[in-house]
Structure 1
C-alpha cells in the first residue's frame, strides 16, 4: 500500500447503478441509503435500509467512485 493511501482515508460508501428485476429500469442509488428506494417506473423496492449498508434487491450494474 502506498503512503498516501495510508494517510488519506477513502469513504466506504459509493453510488451504485441498480437494475430493477421487474422492469429492467436502471437507476442510481446510494450504497448506504437510509430510506427505502423504489423504482421510478414500476415502484418495486430496489434498496432497503439496514442501519448501515442498504440491502440491494436489484442487480448492481456499476459502482461510481
Structure 2
C-alpha cells in the first residue's frame, strides 16, 4: 500500500468558543473535557463532564480547527 492511499481519520474532538449565558464572557473549551469548567468572571457552569463528549451549557460561537 502506498503512503498517499492511507486515510488519516479525523478526530471527533475539537476546541470550541463558548459564550457564557449570564455575563457574555467568551472562553475556549475542549469538547471531551474531563473536568467541569466554570466561567472565570461569574462562576456559572459552562461545561459538564458526561464520561464521553462533554455537555456544553453556554452558547457555542464557533468551532476551532
Q: Same fold (TM over 0.5)?
A: yes
Partners of 1:31 and 1:60 in 2: CA distance: 11
Q: CA RMSD in A?
A: 1.2
Note the residue ranges of structure 1 that are not aligned, 5 or more in a row. Answer: none
Give the TM-score of the pair, scaled to structure 2.
Answer: 0.88
Runs of 4 or more consecutive aligned structure 1 residues displaced over 4 Å after TM superposition:
none
Q: Number of aligned pairs?
A: 61
Note the residue ranges of structure 2 that are not aligned, 5 or more in a row. Answer: none
Aligned counterpart, 1:48: 48
**1:42-64 per-position Cα deviation (integer Å, ceiling 9, x unaligned):** 01000000010110000000101
Say which SS state the counterpart of residue 11 (structure 1) adopts: coil
Give the TM-score of the pair, scaled to structure 1.
Answer: 0.88
Q: How far apart are 1:10 and its partner, in Å?
A: 1.0
Counterpart check, 1:32 vs 2:32: yes
